[in-house]
Amino acid sequence: MELEQLEVNLFRGPSRDIGTTRVFGGQVLAQAVLAASRTVESRLIHSLHAYFLLPGNPDAPIVYDVDHNRDGRSFTSRRVLAIQHGRPIFNLAASFQVEEQGLEHQFDMPQVPDPHDVPELVEVPDEQAEVAPEMLQRWCHRIGPFEFRAVDGSPWGSTGPAPPLRKLWFRLHGNPGDDQKLHRALLAYVSDFHLFGTAMLPHGISWFNERLMLASLDHAMWFHRDVRVDQWLLYDCDSPITSGGRGLSRGMIFNTAGQLVASVAQEGVLRLRAEDE
């Protein structure tokens, strides 16, 4: 998550290998949020809307070009273009706001077990890892930056069709400090985990189905309150529809005090290739 500043409004971020042929979307999203945040003073991001244009290459860094759209009295707008090998692979529109007080209401947090009463998702089950692509197998048993605990059971594989609902506890391994800009960027990073898989649940499809074609198209996020990603957070996800070769997933993120800290929505390609492809 450390960006190198190349020039005014121009940053470069490293790519992380996660065992696939493309960069993890959450990485590009979080680095773009950090790049935009580096150009804004005394205001925090409150919303973002992003589009994934091309798959990123995990073997090469990504350059982020930040455009200053507007600096108003209460709100600041930025656009970020992520570039790799001379081509745009991702764009982001982000809005930042001065801290304000106002009317408040929110949905109640779902009633779920305490995170310490839910088993940790340490790795992909061996029977699932064995059928995964070779380059993904070496990642399946590696500890990632976040710890997950699935209230509804393991998200890997499929035991048949299920309601499009998923709840997971998560937190960051380690202490990232107190910089709220970094915490919000890391929340954007982790928001791309497990969300879109909710759209697969009614269809009983395994992540390791060779006919499955998945790709994120866009990602939207709203930050409602300050957050610490090194403390337990609940990701409450649902998927209202899959149609036209696409699926839509939504999520609400709560802290252990029951406060809604962020909301997320994502659409992606969800297809099954024909048997002979």
The domain spans of the chain are 1-99, 115-277
Q: Give pLDDT, residue 147.
A: 93
* CATH 3.60.15.10 given to domain 1-99: no
Active-site annotation holds for 216: yes
pLDDT interval class at 17 (50, 70, 90)? confident
Choices 3.40.50.620, 3.10.129.10, 3.40.640.10, 3.30.70.2660: CATH for 115-277: 3.10.129.10
Q: Measured between alpha carbons, how far is 20 from 170 in angstroms, rounded to an integer?
A: 23
- 168-224 pLDDT per residue, tens: 999 999 999 999 999 999 999 999 999 999 999 998 887 777 788 888 999 999 999
Catalytic residue among 158, 239, 249, 266: 266
Can 1-99 and 115-277 be said to share one CATH topology?
A: yes
Burial environment of residue 111 by CB neighbours within 10 A (0 to 12, 13 to 18, 19 or more): exposed
pLDDT interval class at 157 (50, 70, 90)? low
* pTM (two decimals): 0.90
Active-site annotation holds for 192: yes
Catalytic residue among 158, 216, 239, 249: 216
DSSP per position, the chain: -PPEEEETTEEEE-----SSSS--HHHHHHHHHHHHHTT-SS-EEEEEEEEE-SPPPTTS-EEEEEEEEEE-SSEEEEEEEEEETTEEEEEEEEEEE---------PPPP----GGGS----S--HHHHTTS-HHHHHHHTS--SEEEEETTS--SS-SS---SEEEEEEEESS---S-HHHHHHHHHHHTTSSTGGGGGGGGT--TT-TTEEEEEEEEEEEE-S---TTS-EEEEEEEEEEETTEEEEEEEEEETTS-EEEEEEEEEEEEE--TT-
Catalytic residue among 192, 236, 238, 263: 192
Q: Measured between alpha carbons, how far is 104 from 96 in angstroms, rounded to an integer?
A: 19
